[in-house]
Amino acid sequence: MGKESPSSPKRNQSDFKRRKLLWIVGAAGLCLFFYILGSWQNSQTVTFESTKTVVSVCSSSNSTLDFGAHHSSVTTNDDSLSQDIVFEPCDMSYSEYTPCEDLKRSLKFERERLIYRERHCPAKGERLNCLIPAPPGYKNPFPWPKSRDFAWYANVPHKELTVEKAIQNWIQYEGAKFRFPGGGTMFVNGADAYIEDIKAIIPLTDGHIRTALDTGCGVASWGAYLLKRDILTMSFAPRDSHEAQVQFALERGVPAMIGVMASQRLPYPSRAFDMAHCSRCLIPWKDYEGIYLLEVDRVLRPGGYWILSGPPVNWKTHWKGWQRTKEDLKQEMDAIEELATHLCWKKVVEKGNLAIWQKPWNHMECINQHKQVSLPHICKGEDVDYAWYRKMETCITPLPNVDKSNDIAGGRLTKWPARATAVPPRIALGTIPGITAEIFNADTLLWAQRVAYYKASIVPPLGAGRYRNIMDMNSGLGGFAAALVSDKAWVMNTVSPTSKDNTLGVIFERGFIGAYQDWCEPFSTYPRTYDLIHANVVFSMYQDRCDIADILLEMDRIVRPEGAIIIRDDVNVLNKVRRIVSGMRWESKLADHESGPFNPEKILIAVKSYWVGASNAKQDSASPDGG
């Protein structure tokens, strides 16, 4: 066999294949090298400059996010995004706009049972397409716990309650700020002393009582002073003649929302609260077949307490001051007593201005008792947890079945603080299909890791007490709130009423609070009432149901100037969101998922710029004094 010639076609073909292979391998290697280099350069790094946080993330822009409080005008410059739309400021007359409790719209609805004060949200064509302005002189609220006792007048410029409730020590005006002495209509000596009177009767500090409901809360001083006893209170009141009472509560850093007992169920699941309270809340408990007390019974946990102070309790002492007849007050008290008996509640005590009842631990004896009386009957065929635009009913919400008379319906809760991470009874008993104890524990661990990542790399002020009022727009099992339990913050958890898994009851069983909320509609709160908003896959959930611009405008309405927004979602969804927020006076950055740059889920971090409405109601950007 002869040697192959160097110029033979076969040899040339072999060399060509070899060179081609080397070229492909080399090109692939270079691509991989530059991809890894780019990922490393775009990975999350953080440096600190006082309260200013400089974040380098997955954006081509080198601008930074500033989480500090400056009380000066800020403009958004992000050349990496084209502003498809610019949202203009609304007129200053909308500074305290509450879309679903709009005073003008409410007048179209009937006044019977205060139905006109319920949620009546604007139709799609009626929603504002502008940014709600802060009042001139707006400042960041005092930090907690100082905020419990003080608020800036410029932030809630209403003096009406300082005159109307002067004797009762609700609120006092002192120059540039308000002071909250802690008084109330039935506790002029202060909420602390009033709570001590309650503590002498029922256990408030041994971990059994964690969640409370305050109906008709005023400025929420009862809830404010329960916080130091590790009791978290959902306070609510309507938007009525007591101007801005819920707004004052949130400005103080105390959980609250706009709400009223009228015809709809309260937006909470059954068996949610360990304790409920009414201090001269003006709710007609004996009227309408006792429907309002039946609703309290629905949301009260087995063994939970109902506390009543004010009319008609202790009517023999106060009837003249209340300007009512003895007969009228006695009849009201007797009606409440009779209704409580039908609910199978046990009266714990009536002492001074306080009357306290306890709900039974189960309904075993109550069912037997109701076989002998006609009203109210036990509800049948109802989803007792569903409470989104669901009418109240004049029947007793049934408790889960038990085997023995001393069993706790729905299961026993772990004492607080272990309750925050213990497997909730709703999960342990398998009442939420597909969610096991293992899934719950894994979710708790996952959110602990995610929040640690937020604090270390995404929003460092989150770990430094910068944010007090936090909104979680899609709370799931409540893991986000649990991860913040040791911080100086509280979380308003929300669960969609259309969600496949109704987990709000689980969140309450963990010792946290929240409400049902469909984010295609506005939330029942005042503007500028949350310091930080967390939105986990919210836009993926809602993008096919409603306009995501409306959701973002609602987020802008309720977050404070210089407040922070964290949005987790698929990168394609977040790119849509960024194009909208670029015209909303938010500074935003895109960060990698905590697992690294290869995860398609990303995190959008934004800061709402500081700006205020002008006093002439034409434009924005006035700078207040001091800070």
Could you state, in order of their start, the residue ranges of all structural domains in the chain? Answer: 49-87+100-134+418-608, 158-266+272-370
What tokens were used for 454? Answer: 């937020």
Separation CA 620–CA 622 (nearest Å): 6
State whether residue 70 is helix, strand or coil: coil
Looking at residue 164, its pLDDT comes to 67
Give the tokens for residue 441.
Answer: 């524990």
The pLDDT assigned to 382 comes to 79
CA-based nearest residue to 188, from 219, 165, 160: 165
Give the model's pLDDT for residue 47.
Answer: 32
CA 74 to chain centre: 27
DSSP 241-269: SSTTHHHHHHHTT--EEE---SSBPPSS-
The 3-state DSSP class for residue 575 equals helix
How distant, in Å, are the alpha carbons of 128, 234, 458 from that of 276? 36, 9, 38
Nearest in space to 474 (alpha carbons), one of 439, 436, 438, 523: 523
Environment class of residue 309 by beta-carbon count within 10 Å: exposed (0-12), middle (13-18) or buried (19+)? buried
- Rounded CA-CA distance 50/21 in Å is 55
- Angle at which helix 326-342 crosses helix 291-299, to 10 degrees, equals 40
Q: Looking at residue 617, what is its pLDDT?
A: 41
Q: Which pLDDT score is estimated for 371?
A: 63
Nearest to 287 by CA among 112, 106, 110, 107: 112
**Per-residue model confidence as pLDDT tens digits over 430-483:** 999 999 999 999 999 999 999 999 999 999 999 999 999 999 999 999 999 999
Q: Quote the pLDDT of residue 80.
A: 44
What are φ and ψ of residue 601, in 5° steps? Answer: -80, 130
Pick among 3.30.470.20, 3.40.50.150, 1.10.3720.10, 2.60.40.1840: CATH of 49-87+100-134+418-608: 3.40.50.150
If the chain, 627 residues long, is cut into consecutive pieces of 10 residues, what is the mean pLDDT of each piece? 45 54 61 48 35 39 59 41 77 96 94 95 94 96 96 91 68 91 80 95 97 92 96 93 86 97 98 96 94 98 97 92 92 96 96 96 85 75 93 95 95 98 98 96 98 96 95 98 97 96 97 98 98 98 96 98 98 96 95 96 98 67 36
Give me the pLDDT at residue 595, please.
Answer: 95
Within 484-547, residue ranges assigned H as helices are 504-509, 538-542
Q: What's the pLDDT at 24? A: 62
How confident is the model over 78-100, as pLDDT tens digits?
444 445 689 999 999 999 999 99
Q: What is the CATH number of domain 158-266+272-370?
A: 3.40.50.150
Residues 6+ apart with CB under 8 A from 42: 56, 57, 58, 592, 597
Amino acid at the residue 465: G
363-378 burial by CB neighbour count: b if 16+ within 10 A, else e? bbebeeebeeeeebee
* Measured distance CA(615)–CA(393) in Å, rounded: 47
